[in-house]
Amino acid sequence: MAIKDLTPRQGKVFIEADVIAKSSPREFNKFGKAGRVCDAEIKDDTGTIKLTLWNEQVDMVNVGDRVSVKNGYVSEYKGDLQLSTGKFGSLEVIGKSDGAAGSDKKQENEAIEDSFEEPKDLKDFEDESLDDVDEEFVD
């Protein structure tokens, strides 16, 4: 299942995605019971969606994690789609996102690219620099 295909009031959502942002947790009391909630933003190759994290999920999930949502539910709040595990779903951290490792590699590649000098214009290349090449060794 892809994020771009999710619709409001859709249930039985099974999706894997990368956590790219996470808000600070908020504490609440509902029906005399204390809890914590925060939002995370997750992405796949097709888009992003807000993922609501409840109680122990708040500490379990971090930016850079790859998560699997099983039997999730999509709601809509102020025109934006939100994904939640609700009462019947589950959330599991299944590893680190490809983007987390890829960003380090991207920075490394950019540093290497920055260390190269721009090539000189070939029209200024002097043919006389080839004069001392011994023809007998050239195939």
pLDDT top residue among 104 and 10: 10
**Position 7 in a domain:** yes
Structural domain contains residue 76: yes
pLDDT at position 95, please?
A: 94
pTM of the complete model = 0.69
Q: Which domain holds residue 21?
A: 3-115
Q: What is the CATH number of the domain that holds 88?
A: 2.40.50.140
pLDDT for 121 equals 53
Kindly state whether residue 32 falls inside one of the protein's structural domains.
yes
How many percent of the chain have pLDDT more than 70?
71
The encoded tokens of residue 9 equal: 């009031």
Q: Is residue 136 part of a domain?
A: no
Between 5 and 102, name the one with better pLDDT: 5
List, in order, residues 6 or more apart from 102 with CB less than 8 Å away.
Answer: none
Whether residue 52 lies inside any domain: the answer is: yes
Mean pLDDT, residues 74-83:
95
Residue 61 CB partners (closer than 8 Å, separation 6+) = 19, 22, 40, 53, 67, 91, 93
Is residue 137, in this structure, part of any structural domain at all?
A: no
pLDDT level of residue 102 (50, 70, 90 thresholds): very low
